[in-house]
Amino acid sequence: MAEVPAGKLVLVATPIGNLGDMSPRAVQVLGDADVVACEDTRRTGRLLAAAGVHAKRLVAVHEHNERGQADALVQRMLTGDVVALVTDAGTPAISDPGERVVVAAAEAGVTIEIVPGPSAVIAALAISGLPTERFCFDGFLPRKGRQRAERITAIAGESRTTVLYEAPHRLAATIAALAEACGEGRRIALARELTKRFEEVWRGTLAQAVVHTTDVEPRGEYVLVVEGAAHVEATEADLDAALRARLDAGTDKRTAIAAVAAELHLPRRQVYQAALRLAPGR
């Protein structure tokens, strides 16, 4: 009996807005695949119809069922099926479902390929006007709490350009938090509705961004590109001034110490000692 050839997993990037960005190779792979695993079968069905693709089978793989679906899809691949993996927009597994499927396929020794294409991260970075040689992607920030504060503090001290995603109703609060942690003079680009009809890129400082997001109602999905921190040797006067500014603004001592240590690239213990000297009773 002939051995059944092993299948494979193919990650397929899909348009983030403009349907014209669907590549010929993506169309071919999606049409040839035995299974198209997608975040939303209805949305992907409309995309495939617009591209003239007749998929053999659509299977939903989203954040709530990916863990279980990953094993089932790998079993299909091991029996010879080609599984094409897409999300609602952009590149699978990048701040979207797909990572668990890739991990499971890799652990099972399944061949994994990719059809590269649209990515909101790369698109926003490329047109931001900020340094692109070294960058990091931080996805969506936690909505509240200590984890959010720690992530923002880390961004304040990051020397590379940072790319973030944000929803419109949380944009103003995130910009304000970044301005407090990074300093109002740090540059930022706000890219919204990339490749769509109302695509827009706003560029300025964080102080200007606070005003902009107050004056203009945020609409659509945003990608934030934040300039990296400049590494300048901080003096004792710089340390004292940075601490006083935060403490006088009402920031609690622990948060102020963490933010200043990240901003000035100083050991937290050194900043802690300065805080004790400046505000011993707080």
- Model's pTM, two decimal places? 0.79
pLDDT surpassing 90 at residue 258 = no
Would 67 be classed as within a structural domain?
yes
Cα–Cα dist 213/22, whole Å: 32
Instruction: Read off the CATH number of the domain in which 104 is found.
Output: 3.40.1010.10
Instruction: Read off the CATH number of the domain in which 218 is found.
Output: 3.30.950.10
Would 1 be classed as within a structural domain?
no
DSSP 3-state assignment of 202? Answer: strand
Whether residues 144 and 200 share a domain: the answer is: yes
Q: What mean pLDDT comes out for the span 87-92?
A: 96
pLDDT surpassing 60 at residue 206 = yes
Last residue of a domain, one of 83, 118, 153: 118
Last residue of a domain, one of 96, 118, 140: 118
pLDDT tens digits for range 56-87? 999 999 999 999 999 999 999 999 999 999 99
DSSP 3-state assignment of 188? Answer: strand
Q: How many domains does the chain have?
A: 3
For the record, the structure tokens of 235 come out as: 């003096």
Q: What mean pLDDT comes out for the span 141-161?
A: 92
- What is the enclosing helix (H) or strand (E) of 244? helix 236-248
Q: What mean pLDDT comes out for the span 218-226?
A: 95
Structural domain span for residue 273 = 236-278
Within 10 A of 28 (CB to CB), how many other CB atoms are there? 12
Whether residues 97 and 198 share a domain: the answer is: no
